[in-house]
Amino acid sequence: MTVGCLYIGDSLTNEVALQLLGSDGGIVQITRYLDGPVDVVMSSLTLNLGSVEGQARLLDWLRQKGTPARIICELQAFELGAGYEEHTRSATDYLTTQIVGVTRLLEAALSLNPNLVWVFLRPPQADVWSQACEAYFHVLVEGLRTAVPSADFNFLEVDQVAGS
């Protein structure tokens, strides 16, 4: 199975998935929920990137399947949308997922593929938490651009993803 794009997040729509399928080939979604656009996505891994177990599962998957050419990672707002109230998280859980989990994945993916294209996807309605996470990743990316100049990093809105 060739995976052109790894999409990390819970808000992948069928429209965006179809655009990614056309531009990247295969898509695998990493999500906390089982209700994604499974008819378009090649496969889906359900895990919590904020947990050590979830991070280990994803890193094992990357080692076994290979790192895709592009990884798209949602920077989620702290408040979850309607229908997910049962999954409400604490600020600590949110920050563990958004900063620790994503940073570990980013480091591992770059070590496996130094030509990686990584897209941070801004939430449609950013809050102070997602803005703080984005600021952290901007600083991290500046250092990584020096250490791994062959990698490409972008911060985009949802409507810019397919053209990136």
Residue by residue, pLDDT tens for the chain (164 residues) are: 557 888 888 888 888 888 877 776 677 888 877 665 555 556 778 888 878 898 899 999 888 888 888 999 988 766 544 444 445 567 777 777 778 889 999 999 999 999 999 999 998 888 888 888 899 999 999 999 999 999 999 999 877 876 55
Distance CA(160)–CA(4), nearest Å, equals 18
pTM for this model (two decimals): 0.82
Determine the 3-state secondary structure of 39 from DSSP. coil
Distance CA(150)–CA(41), nearest Å, equals 28
Determine the 3-state secondary structure of 154 from DSSP. strand
Number of structural domains, the chain?
1
- Cα 136 to Cα 28, 59, 98: the distances in Å are 26, 22, 10
What range defines the domain where residue 139 resides?
A: 5-160
Among candidates 164, 155, 163, 58, which has minimal Cα distance to 112?
Answer: 58
Tell me, what's the pLDDT at 139?
96
Any idea what the CATH number is for the domain that residue 74 is in?
3.40.50.720
Among candidates 81, 90, 159, 161, which has minimal Cα distance to 129?
Answer: 90
